[in-house]
């Protein structure tokens, strides 16, 4: 249940991050805000701790209550982490936890996040995470909003640069061969 103060705080964050957004979503995840641990290595492999996976699954469950399918364009995300104690926890690691948990639920990939806000506060009585999300207007196109059509094959692709016109090296070569033979 979102308190009126959390709702007001979420609205203020979104008014700064995405003032032109036609809609926004907000939720409160109860409990101590999880943090993203550093990667672990063993026998030349990278792995996650089970506690990290369980925490991401729990956060993902809460996000899934609001989002039935991922957003397709740029996204603004704000989060306020109400910690139960004064331990030194990095805000960026708590943000990374939320971003990773939202992959495939709120957006297809966290590269779609083009505006980001994070803050840590103390609330020993009611630790929680306030998360607000809205579409974000940006000159950078991300997600499925960034789709171009390849001239030679007519296929859709996501360009990696502003000047990319072909989906592959093969299509670029085919276009050059066609230009030379004409």
CATH class of the region 4-135: alpha beta
pLDDT in the model for residue 54: 86
What residues does 130 pair with on adjacent strands?
28, 80
Sorting pLDDT into bands at 50, 70 and 90, what band is 3? Answer: confident
- Ordered by start, the domain boundaries in the chain are 4-135, 147-181
CB 111 within 8 A of CB 7: no
pLDDT digit string (tens) for 25-61? 899 999 988 887 666 666 777 656 676 788 888 999 9
Instruction: Give mean pLDDT, residues 153-176.
Output: 73
pLDDT digit string (tens) for 88-139? 889 999 999 999 999 999 988 888 899 999 999 999 999 999 999 999 887 7
């Amino acid at each position: 249940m979102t308190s009126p103060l959390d709702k007001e705080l979420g609205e203020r964050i979104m008014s700064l991050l995405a003032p032109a957004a036609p809609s926004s979503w907000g939720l409160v995840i109860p409990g101590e805000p999880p943090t993203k641990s550093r990667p672990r290595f063993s026998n030349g492999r990278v792995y996650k701790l089970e506690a990290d996976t369980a925490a991401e699954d729990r956060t993902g469950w809460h996000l899934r209550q609001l989002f039935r399918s991922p957003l397709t364009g740029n996204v603004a995300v704000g989060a306020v982490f109400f910690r139960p104690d004064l331990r030194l926890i990095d805000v960026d690691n708590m943000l990374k936890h939320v971003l990773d948990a939202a992959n495939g639920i709120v957006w297809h990939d966290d590269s779609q996040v083009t505006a980001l806000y994070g803050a840590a506060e103390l609330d020993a009585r009611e630790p929680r995470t306030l998360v607000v999300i809205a579409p974000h207007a940006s000159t950078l196109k991300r997600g499925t909003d960034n789709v171009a059509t390849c001239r030679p094959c007519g296929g859709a692709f996501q360009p990696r640069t502003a000047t990319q016109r072909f989906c592959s090296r093969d299509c670029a070569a085919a276009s050059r061969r066609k230009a030379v033979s004409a």
